[in-house]
Structure 1
């Protein structure tokens, strides 16, 4: 929803992948730790407030203030200060050279200072105001979001007056709605439904490799209590027990890229030389025996909505069957609401084994997952990661490698560090490594639209078919 309502200083060109100006008209690197941005002077928020350099300073100061405890702070904490030079010029000073400054900036949205100070955080969360191509109309929890075109938008105005996002958990209902004209775009279309959609005459499918990696989180630090998954041999056994290549071939119809790591193949830093775990049930059984579980054990396997990951339901069932073949009996626990599922993950209650994936917030750099998901800062007295609520794996030496990679502009050195990190994660079997996603959409023929490279569905680029 964010790019419909809000704008960033910079955005990504979806054809070239290059980062280009947006609310900023240009930028220059003054020195290793200083960036200066020139801003548009014709931008107003949906409530009439003008966008200026002070707006930029307010938004960054707010997220950088540790007292606000905002989840995105870690993504921007390399910024030391933000200085207003004049209404259309703002200067950023970083603590050290920061190679992914623009990557992180293209996912940072602007909100109006006056509106926020008047209404407060809780109000603006349910009544958002931005500078984007659409304006917020209403949000019916669990049902839909409705946006109306911003006719005062400074950029190219959307062709469609309204954009509605409907929440439909059931996949068959989504497809029925698409084919009956109730909706125009379905995301995470199951691969076995592609032919159904294409044969309908009213819709077609689109596929695009996207910046999301899928894996099973393994609770190696015991956030969800003491359990066998804390043993590295058990984690390695689980990786050998599941037939990832088979799932890609027979469930996803080849629509995924096998990985041996959590880094997406489209992101800088990906190491293609690391070999995936082989499907080897006998080796899995041997590892379980070495770990002290010759007769296996029982495990909770938590999963969520299918609207992010194509083929998720079938994949989970296949994984459960494969795990049972080596003696690991799993109880599948499905949570059908995104909010409660994410809350359980952040609170450390989702383990010991659960479905997860990461979309990088459109950051085409390994830092987009490594810092967010693995930079743990050590564990506190309760066994919880100090730096992120997402981590279920913690290694303080690896934290140093992640920090080093985001503090040098030498890309060769950064690649070496990222490779080192991926080898460590692989050896420790931090997760069950699955695949880089191919996004699959079902799209009505009454609409022209382009599948994104980063999975962010930009409805403001859709138009009626000619």
Structure 2
């Protein structure tokens, strides 16, 4: 098998993997602190000492995120906001370049010994933020830590095909998989390297409270629900960080994030609602940055409990939803309808399997045939998802004879129910999924494989197809297996692909940055231009 090499300074990239987080669009300016309102008013009156956009020697970059980082332990996260912060603290074993190709980072090269054994050369001269040397032992420890069932990593299914990692005498690391695993490199893009001695000394809780990595930025402080502060790692092996200080702020209210951007209190904000993006486009000091991503908006349907246990009801739901209408009306063109739960950047995605046409009359017929007229459909959601999107889907389902009730909870409760027992997992739920690996193995395998915490569905034929796809290195065979798997999902309808998600960021016009399909927010890729 070929060895892969690239230059020492490659951008670490990939979003995280959860993938299911977005933000609800709140109207109005509720929640804007008084001082921010005064600053905005002063700016509008022209009485501020200097315009926010006329800075020179930019040293601090301020980023508004929809939510606080839930964890800074890279092996215990499953959400975009945590990833946005900690990805700047840690290096990964491998990464992706701007074109999506897997390239070196802490590993400088790799070579298959056989179909189940991959050896990595580990970069020399890399140090952690405490001054200790990063070694092959740290790399092997990081791999073995995330696959340890006792850690209970939310990312476990992404790495569960790994049997073990071991440091070799010549500074290499050997990873052995349980079977040939073609998605290994794609999954390892997400694997952050942690310092073995430090984690063992302070424990998991201590490591999360004060993380130490080898990345371009050092952890300074974290205030729950408020902010995380990072300082530049001046000794970073990959080059000089572009800003001396980075502040990530938790700003759940979207109107507050937009106000921060307009007044210069934030240099970059994540999850700009499409209708706000259209408005902000015309503002001279603001730019909208957008890119089609590997993330897919989808509707989960419970195939093991409640009215949706009947496949006719699930098919009725599929026929009832106008995907094109949702994209046009609610996404302002920042999205593209998809027929399957996947998107074009993902290996295994196919256009050969067609979705259900929008046909409300057919949906009504199926509802009646199933004896489900007026059936109670519990629609699980949280404030992390667009209320307008959820309500539009609710109306479409009610229009075909179902009684759809939206049940909203905090995100933690939503995820607990969504991953829990089928009887308590609701009939349907909206989600936005990305595996950060650009491979169907990280999408339909965890969502629908029998035994997955996300799956409320079981089909041995589907299991066989996705198991086969993750057990051969032959790309053509893998693609055939995924087409088979997608065909089965179409007939069983345990979920519906709605649209390919576009990442939307609002940025100061002086910030130079090109977002990528994997939604990484890597500060090393950014710069400030006067």
What do the CA deviations read for 1:300-337 (whole angstroms, capped 9, x no partner)? 2222345xx6xx232222112222211223222333x5
In the TM superposition, 1:63-462 aligns within 5 A as 63-86=146-169, 88-222=171-305, 227-293=306-372, 295-306=373-384, 312-335=386-409, 337-348=410-421, 349-360=424-435, 362-376=436-450, 385=451, 388-462=452-526
Unaligned runs of 5+ in 1: 377-384
Once the two structures are TM-superposed, the CA of residue 87 in structure 1 deviates from its matched residue by: 5.8
CA root-mean-square deviation? 1.8
Q: Does the aligned pair in 2 maintain the 1:296–1:326 contact within 8 Å?
A: no
What do the CA deviations read for 1:252-272 (whole angstroms, capped 9, x no partner)? 122212111112221111110
Moved over 4 A (4+): none
Q: Does the aligned pair in 2 maintain the 1:37–1:91 contact within 8 Å?
A: yes
Once the two structures are TM-superposed, the CA of residue 442 in structure 1 deviates from its matched residue by: 1.3
What do the CA deviations read for 1:86-142 (whole angstroms, capped 9, x no partner)? 362122222332212211111111111111111111221232221111112222222
Q: Structure 1 residues 92-101 or 438-447, which shifts more?
A: 92-101
1:32 to 115, 134, 140: 115
Q: Give distance in 1, aligned partners of 2:412 and 2:529.
A: 35
1:53 to 136, 139, 153: 136
Unaligned runs of 5+ in 2: 1-84
Aligned to 2:92: 8
Once the two structures are TM-superposed, the CA of residue 444 in structure 1 deviates from its matched residue by: 1.2
Q: Does the aligned pair in 1 maintain the 2:512–2:527 contact within 8 Å?
A: yes
The alignment partner of 1:5 has SS state of: coil
The alignment partner of 1:159 has SS state of: coil
| Cα pair distance change 1:288/1:19, threshold 3 Å | same
Q: Does the aligned pair in 2 maintain the 1:49–1:114 contact within 8 Å?
A: no
Once the two structures are TM-superposed, the CA of residue 373 in structure 1 deviates from its matched residue by: 1.9
Q: Give distance in 1, aligned partners of 2:519 and 2:314.
A: 30
Give me the TM-score of the superposition, normalised by structure 2: 0.80
Q: Does the aligned pair in 2 maintain the 1:52–1:87 contact within 8 Å?
A: no
| Cα pair distance change 1:148/1:394, threshold 3 Å | farther
Q: How many residues align?
A: 444
The alignment partner of 2:259 has SS state of: helix
What do the CA deviations read for 1:203-227 (whole angstroms, capped 9, x no partner)? 11122100101111111122xxxx2
Q: Does the aligned pair in 2 maintain the 1:133–1:460 contact within 8 Å?
A: yes
Once the two structures are TM-superposed, the CA of residue 350 in structure 1 deviates from its matched residue by: 4.2
